[in-house]
């Protein structure tokens, strides 16, 4: 029979190598995003204007800040929860 491809279907030359991608660690969860002071300032000012972002606004903000739409969406969700806890 032909040799098996190895662990998780990887070719032998890729077996055992660590993923060098910081966005998808081996556990499957992303690393926590460290927002810069400028990004937080932009997000906070946007949050003061609108508690919820529409898809178009989120896309525009993500492109301008060089973050993913998911990161923007998550930041707004977390910020709304922070506001709720404070009130």
Report the alpha-carbon distance of residue 64 to residue 49 in Å, rounded.
Answer: 17
User: For residue 68, how far is the Cα from the chain centroid?
Assistant: 6
The confidence score (pLDDT) of residue 14 equals: 41
Sign of CA dihedral 8, 9, 12, 17: negative
Tens-digit pLDDT profile for residues 27-84: 778 788 899 999 999 999 999 999 999 999 999 999 999 999 999 999 999 999 999 9
**58 contacts 72 by C-beta, under 8 angstroms:** yes
Report the alpha-carbon distance of residue 35 to residue 45 in Å, rounded.
Answer: 15
Say if residue 3's pLDDT is above 70.
Answer: no
Tens-digit pLDDT profile for residues 13-35: 443 444 444 555 567 787 888 99
Which domains are delineated in the chain? 37-86 (1.10.10.60)
Q: Which stretch of DSSP H or E encloses residue 78?
A: helix 69-86
């Amino acid at each position: 029979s032909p040799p098996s491809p190895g662990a998780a279907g990887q070719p032998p030359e890729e077996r055992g190598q660590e993923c060098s991608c910081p966005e998808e660690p081996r556990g499957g969860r992303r690393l926590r995003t460290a927002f810069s002071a400028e990004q937080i300032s932009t997000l906070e000012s946007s949050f003061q204007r609108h508690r919820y972002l529409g898809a178009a606004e989120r896309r525009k903000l993500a492109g301008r800040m060089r973050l993913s739409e998911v990161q923007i969406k998550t930041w707004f969700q977390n910020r709304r929860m922070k506001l709720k806890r404070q009130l």
